[in-house]
Chains A and B, each alone.
Chain A
């Protein structure tokens, strides 16, 4: 028995996240196909004002409580469990983001519902809900059927268009009083990104390096290329984790989302976490030694080659072109 879809509206620092609208968009579509209502759940401290933007839902359930200021996953799951019980909803969509990570798993235990992670598609087939989970760095997809159309699904950012979840309509708002236990995990403060470094979100051209750059010494090659082309060097997570470049140069899920006119993906395999941060680039050129690297499925141009050979050659050609 399917009795409605809940979307957990994600917000941070007083603003709704893009994933919220992506979820409302796919939630709206599923609600239509299953003929059930779509509700947005908005929880936090002083957040009722955000409800007006959730008009794609049939209603917004608002839970306000001082204990819900940046609450841990377990606290959010506890509130969602109460909302689930009261609404008899069958399907819950949560963001597959750093902000919402953990909520689906805890709710799954408490509500005894299956939880499917990393979903980039959810559809109704012969009346049954099928979720497609993207595993193994984007190399394999798994279709999972949700028994009785019940479950919790975490939605991969960027998998669905956000525009489909935006509406000018004013949704009916229901306030729900939920007792919230004081969380054991206490939010202390935000740590803002370092703004003294180059702002990679404002560059026309980005020279992005991944594992294929192999060593910190080789970064000089990328720097030379960036200087020749008039751009900046950025990187995928493995390079940042090695400490070869500062956090401010990271593109991807935890890092920056960039939309340059040209993105040179050099030695980057194209894991979903990286893709999330650069899919908006206008032209993507990828170079990788692995002909099956997922990056080639999304890039506009690709070459199977060692970046350590191509980078110096490219730098020289660009210099010659500019000089000529």
Chain B
């Protein structure tokens, strides 16, 4: 089986996010990008599958700041091939991103018969929905999301999907297919920086031209803003000891001690 993992760079929400002066987009100056969490899990799941059942792992991403580091990291972890789709993709929404990826995955319109495409179920900046279902729709392949485990079963794969409240469901689907990964069966592996640096010297990222990005958004954002807090926590100040004392007070007031 050939595993294709699609990576997306998203703003790191640990950092402060600011709205740009146009009031309709994020202030790019303030944004630090990182790979989407569940994409990292998708890479891990693909590597686990390859190690257990054979096959190959290809990682691919739209060109973005710092995406090379992410692609080299995936290569250092064990991916066999890394592909970057060239272009200024800054403003593209999910459907356009899916069309670009489809050109790489299926230049003739259909996925290879043994392809399993894996990517995040959702991204934190995905105003327009999810790339996975769009991609599956374009490629005529089945799609299922919120997947937490994948097992090859002859002609296809059996997957576990999360619902809610700890309830999960098992589904089977034929190949080729597109999976939205929520988390891998093991936490994403760590790879030392030194190994990534070494990979940068020996491996290459393939740069692919798939045509100019479609810049037109399907719908424009009227206004982007920070939420006004409905309420704000009453802040407990002081040292760790002071804070602990105040929490004990709160617990006492609420008859919890």
Contact = CB atoms under 8 A, between A and B. Distances in A.
A124 interface: no
A105 B234 contact: no
Nearest to B24: A142
A271 B122 CA distance: 14
- Interface size, B (range): 35 or more
B63 to A, nearest CB: 21
Interface in A102-148: 102, 104-106, 108-110, 114-118, 130, 133-147
A67 B232 CA distance: 48
B163 to A, nearest CB: 5
Contacts of B254: 261-262, 282-283
Interface stretch (A40-48, A161-169, A246-254): A246-254
Contacts of B136: 74, 106
Interface in A235-285: 237-238, 240-243, 247-248, 250, 253-257, 261-262, 264, 269, 271, 282-285
Contact of A144 (B127, B160, B243, B246): B127
Interface string B218-240: 11111111110111111111001
B240 A136 contact: no
Contact of A303 (B41, B158, B227, B237): B237
Interface stretch (B81-89, B106-114, B143-151, B196-204): B143-151
Given A135-B124, A261-B256, A300-B234, A255 B165 contact: yes
A14 interface: no
- Interface size, A (range): 35 or more
**Which interface residue of A138, A192, A254, A318 has the most chain B CB atoms within 10 A?**
A254
Contact of A146 (B145, B219, B247): B219
Contacts of A286: 233
Nearest to A290: B14
Given A101-B130, A229-B251, A302-B234, A241 B41 contact: yes
Contacts of A217: none
Contact of B143 (A102, A130, A133, A145): A102
Interface of B is mostly: mixed
A317 B17 contact: no
A257 B257 CA distance: 24
Interface string B35-48: 00100010000000
B26 interface: yes
Contacts of B130: 101-102, 105, 117
Interface stretch (A25-33, A57-65, A83-91, A181-189): A181-189
Contacts of B246: 301, 303
Interface stretch (B52-60, B65-73, B169-177): B169-177
A184 B170 contact: no
Contacts of B243: 287, 303, 305, 310, 313-314
B240 A313 contact: yes
B13 interface: yes
B154 to A, nearest CB: 13
Contacts of A318: 248, 251, 257
A229 B118 CA distance: 43
Nearest to A287: B243
Interface string A301-324: 111111001100110111001100
Given A185-B142, A238-B37, 16 more contacts: A98-B163, A108-B129, A109-B137, A133-B127, A140-B226, A140-B227, A185-B173, A187-B169, A192-B166, A241-B183, A254-B166, A290-B14, A297-B229, A299-B233, A301-B247, A322-B257
17 contacts: A72-B171, A98-B146, A102-B180, A114-B128, A137-B124, A142-B222, A144-B220, A146-B219, A188-B169, A190-B167, A283-B254, A283-B256, A287-B243, A298-B230, A301-B235, A301-B250, A309-B240
Interface of B: 11, 13-14, 16-17, 19, 26, 37, 41, 94-95, 121-122, 124-130, 132-134, 136-137, 142-146, 158, 160-174, 180, 182-183, 186-187, 218-227, 229-237, 240-241, 243-248, 250-252, 254, 256-257
> Top 8 A-B pairs ranked by shortest CB distance?
A193-B166, A302-B233, A297-B229, A309-B240, A313-B244, A105-B129, A105-B133, A314-B244
